[in-house]
Amino acid sequence: MKTKQLWIAMAFMGLLFLESGSDATAQENGINWISIEEAETLSRQQPKKIFVDVYTDWCGWCRRMSSETFTHPVIIEYINEHFYAVKLNAEQGDPITFRGTEYNNQNPGQRRSAHDFAIALLQGRMSYPSVAFFDEDLNLITALPGFRPPKTMEPILVFFSEDVFKETSDLDAFMSSFEGKVR
């Protein structure tokens, strides 16, 4: 009798594991993440702003933003519709070529060694997570440090995708009056 109960419990746990794994995969695949090189190529063919999530493997707030913000259906839909989305590991070892310049990690494999592209993107203010925005001509608009939950991320995305930043530089005022889809 105990063997039968054990098998039933194991089968149930297996189903839970499979289901949670498939949910995680679906969530990770929600945003169409590409490399910065791919975003540059696509933007030259069909101009669109670029959104960059700058993270590190050791950053807990980065993992939280990936699991909470970038899995929210409103955020996924908005980013996929309005941006080329890039996930950039700020400590990666691989070289990056952007706008004809090659960027490298000067100390690949060393603990907390920032990549030159991440340094340029964040203008030396190394804070993780950060998000950065490029215009359709591949010019950096800005980089914003810090964790952003979905309700805070939505107005930021709209502020840059809809060129509100060209009319006003007051992101905080825009966010305080913004009524979006995230509840």
Average pLDDT across each block of 10 residues of the chain; the chain has 183 residues. List them in order.
Answer: 45 37 47 98 97 97 98 98 98 97 94 96 97 98 98 98 95 95 93
CATH architecture of 32-177: 3-Layer(aba) Sandwich (3.40)
In this prediction, residue 176 carries a pLDDT of 95
In this prediction, residue 109 carries a pLDDT of 85
In this prediction, residue 73 carries a pLDDT of 97
User: Do residues 121 and 143 touch, judged by C-beta distance below 8 A?
Assistant: yes
pTM of the model: 0.83
Where do the structural domains in the chain lie, given as residue ranges? 1-30, 32-177
